[in-house]
Amino acid sequence: MRRVLTFALAALLLAGGAVGSLQAAAQTPSAASGEPIRIGVLDPTTGSFAVFGEQVNDGIRLYFDGVGDQIGDRPVELIFADSAGDPQQTLEQARRLVGQEHVDLLMGTVNSAVAPPLAEFAGQQQIPLVLTVAGARDVTGENRNPYVFRTGLANGQQDRVLGWYTAAKLGKTRAATFAWDFLVGEERVAGFTETFTAAGGEIVAQQKPPLGTTDYGPFIGQVDPSSIDVVYAFFAGPGALAFVQQMHQFGLLPNLELVAPDYFTAGVLDQMGSDAVGTVQAGGYTAAIDSPENAAFKEAYAAAHEGAPGVYVAEGYIGAQVVADAIARAGSAEAQPLLDALAAADLTTAAGPLTFDDRGQAVRTVYVTRVEATADGVAQTIVETVPEVGQSWTPAS
């Protein structure tokens, strides 16, 4: 019995000790001039999305380094946490960032699945959330939560431009779609299909390999090449690499046109090499954009890294720029002024002009690119620039 009491006493003492240190940490005076603005960054740095999360973090760091970690007269503190691409862990880390680190704003995330619970959390806690890459449509949909903004493109946003471009500009009207069988693939194929069929195209076949598949033979084999003139593909990383090679082995490429959202060649373009030549992609950023803003971004990137920045670094950089711009205009890190400033955002980023629609989704330029063979490998060139693309874009609008 004495031991039980000792244990109880020890537990109470432990709890008391923890409280002392917590209360010391909890004393953060409300925003005053010169007080640091604390930004919580939630990106996956472990798990299968880690390679993308690191790049988004690189972009965010790059931007704030460029402005000397200072917005107006207030220093900026970035607090990074690992979302691991997992909703549960994302929520736990978001709780830590808000409850313990007392961040003024949350930003980041890569994969769609973490966005809806995080958006819900941001609404409950009344903390502004700026999504950089995660494209889940619902969070900027009908039941959008007023605390959520997305600086990246929603799933399907660039696919809508691609669908129209494929039918109206490339003149290809008989398509087979290949997309990983999960919600993001569904949302993207739906976007492509809508504008593609509106412009006179027809979806002849839909193939849905399981997420992460690298053997596409069984799926390619089910499509009669003579019935189609274009293939839409939503794959990324090693999956995209394998797909493009197998399409060549099966003889569908280079005879047919291949169109894809820009994640297709992201990070694997050099490995695809000549197999990728001719691939038409639509996306929110390409290193080929010719503007002073992009030149400045590429220069800042080159100072610390090899090669040209990819789309994930750019999205991190753009997200950070939008956040910094909103904080500067709000003159405060309080939630409501910040949200008002975000809603009124109108700035020129490395990827062109950016505003938000009334559901917090960025309206941006979408670039259609084609992979061309160059003297030292392959590169993307811009073949079409479509300004002011919203999440429900149609060619008429």
Partner 1 sequence: MARARISPGAAVVAIGALLAIASWPLDAYWTGLLTQAVIFGGAAVGLDILVGFAGMASLGHGAFFGLAGYGLALGTLRWGVNPWLAAGIGIVGSTLVALAFAPLAVRVRGLAFLTVMLAFGQVVWGLATRGGSATGGENGLPGVPRPSLGPWDLSGAEAFYLFTLLMAVAAIYAVVRFAGSAVGQSLIGVRDNETRMAALGYDVRRLRIIAFVVAATVGAVFGALSAAFNGFVGPGSLDWRLSAQLLLSVVVGGAGSLWGPFVAGAGLHMLETYFAGTTQRWPLVLGLLYIVTVVLLPGGIASLPRLWRQRRRSARPAATPRSRSASES
Please give the residue ranges that form the binding site for partner 1 (CB under 8 A).
1, 4, 8, 11-12, 15-16, 18-19, 22-23, 26, 45-46, 50, 81-82, 84, 86-89, 91-93, 95-96, 98-100, 112-113, 115-117, 119-121, 124, 136, 138, 182-184, 186
In the complex, least distance from residue 11 CB atom to partner 1, rounded to whole angstroms: 6
The neighbour count for residue 125, using CB atoms within 10 Å, is 17
Of the two residues 86 and 159, which places its CB atom closer to partner 1 in the complex? 86
In the complex, least distance from residue 156 CB atom to partner 1, rounded to whole angstroms: 14
Tell whether omega for the bond before 254 is within 30 degrees of 0, i.e. cis. yes
In the complex, least distance from residue 44 CB atom to partner 1, rounded to whole angstroms: 10
In the complex, least distance from residue 231 CB atom to partner 1, rounded to whole angstroms: 24
Measured CA to CA, the distance from residue 120 to residue 118 in angstroms comes to 5
Under DSSP, the state recorded for 218 is H
On whether the CB atoms of residues 244 and 178 are closer than 8 A, the answer is no
Of the two residues 47 and 254, which places its CB atom closer to partner 1 in the complex? 47
Of the two residues 99 and 217, which places its CB atom closer to partner 1 in the complex? 99
Q: Which residues pair with 53 in a beta bridge?
A: none
Query: 């160059």: which residue's tokens?
Result: 374
The neighbour count for residue 301, using CB atoms within 10 Å, is 22
- β-strands 257-261, 230-234: how paired? parallel
DSSP 109-170: --SGGGHHHHHHHHHHHT--EEESS---GGGGSTT--TTEEESSPPTTHHHHHHHHIIIIIS
Of the two residues 148 and 280, which places its CB atom closer to partner 1 in the complex? 148
Measured CA to CA, the distance from residue 111 to residue 92 in angstroms comes to 16
Tell whether omega for the bond before 353 is within 30 degrees of 0, i.e. cis. no
In the complex, least distance from residue 142 CB atom to partner 1, rounded to whole angstroms: 13
Of the two residues 41 and 161, which places its CB atom closer to partner 1 in the complex? 41
Measured CA to CA, the distance from residue 66 to residue 300 in angstroms comes to 8
Query: If DSSP codes are grouped into helix, strand and coil, which group holds residue 207?
Result: strand
Of the two residues 84 and 324, which places its CB atom closer to partner 1 in the complex? 84
Measured CA to CA, the distance from residue 342 to residue 130 in angstroms comes to 9
Of the two residues 185 and 352, which places its CB atom closer to partner 1 in the complex? 185
In the complex, least distance from residue 210 CB atom to partner 1, rounded to whole angstroms: 10
In the complex, least distance from residue 361 CB atom to partner 1, rounded to whole angstroms: 16
Q: Which residues pair with 80 in a beta bridge?
A: 41
Under DSSP, the state recorded for 395 is T
Of the two residues 6 and 249, which places its CB atom closer to partner 1 in the complex? 6
In the complex, least distance from residue 167 CB atom to partner 1, rounded to whole angstroms: 27
